Amino acid sequence: MKKWSLMLIAVLLLGTSFTASSQAAIEVEGDGYVGIWDKYMWRGFDLSDGRPTIQGGIDLSTGGWTLSTWHNWQLKSSDDLRSGEMNETDIILTYSFDVGEMVSVSIGDIYYSLDFGAAEDTNELFVHATLNTLLAPTVKIWWDWDAAEEDGLYYTLDVSHTFDLEQWMPKTALNLGALVGYNQHSDYSVGDFGGWHNYELSASLDYALTDQLTLSPIFIFSSGISSAAKEIIDTETAGALNLTFTF
C-alpha cells in the first residue's frame, strides 16, 4: 500500500506542476537506461552475492520535477537470491532548483520496494546541493525516516569532472568521480554506528552512438574507511555496460 500511496502522491505533485499555468505548454523530457552489471553494489555492500544483475530505469522531468523508477534484476542464483527475479524497485520524486548561479539544489524522496529475504521496504528523504564550479562538489544528505530506528542519517560528498575526448576519440567523453560517505546511525540500511563509511572511485566512458543513444562502460572501486565499516563491507569493484536513450 505504501508503494501505491507514494505513486499517487508523485502523480498529484506532478499534476500540480503541470497545471500551475494553464497557458503554458507542458514539455516533458527524460531518459531510459539499462545496463548489465557484474554485481549490484550499493554504499559498498554487495547486494547480489557477487552475481551479475541487470539494472535499468526511466526519468521523466518537467517544471523542475522529476519522477523516476529504478529496477534491479538478478541474473544468476545464489543461496539467497534467485535468477530472473526483480528484487528491487525504487520510486523517486525529486524537485530541483537553483540558488543563484553558483548553487543547484535537489530535494525529494526515494521509496525502496525490496525483495531481499526479510528486508523491509523503506523510504529516504534527501537533499542534494551542488556548487557549480570546478569538480562540481556535491553534498548529499539522506534520511531513512521509515525503517530506521536510530538517527537514520547518511551523508556523501562527491566530486566529478567530464573530459571531452573528441580530439582523440570522436563522440566520446571520459567521466571521473570520487565519493566519501559518512554514516550517522542509519541502522537499517547501513549500520548502527557513527563514522566514516566508505569511499568510491569511479570512471566511465560515454560514446554517442546517435544523438539520443549513448553506450557507457563503467567501473567503480569501493572500500571501507572506519573500523566499524570494515567489519560489514569488503573492498569491492563493480563494472557495467550501460545503454541510455534520451528524449
Distance CA 204, CA 216 (A): 6
Question: For the chain, which domains are there?
Answer: 2-19+32-246 (2.40.160.40)
pLDDT in tens, the chain (247 residues): 445 455 545 554 555 454 444 445 688 999 999 999 999 999 999 999 999 999 999 999 999 999 999 999 999 999 989 999 999 999 999 999 999 999 999 999 999 999 988 899 999 999 999 999 999 999 999 999 999 999 999 999 999 999 999 999 999 999 999 999 999 999 999 999 999 999 999 999 999 999 999 999 999 999 999 999 999 999 999 999 999 999 9
pTM equals 0.89
Dihedral, CA atoms, 9, 106, 245, 60, nearest 10 degrees? 20
- Read off the amino acid at residue 93: L
Q: Which residue has the cell 557507457?
A: 216
The 3-state DSSP class for residue 243 equals: strand
- Read off the amino acid at residue 4: W
Distance CA 88, CA 86 (A): 6
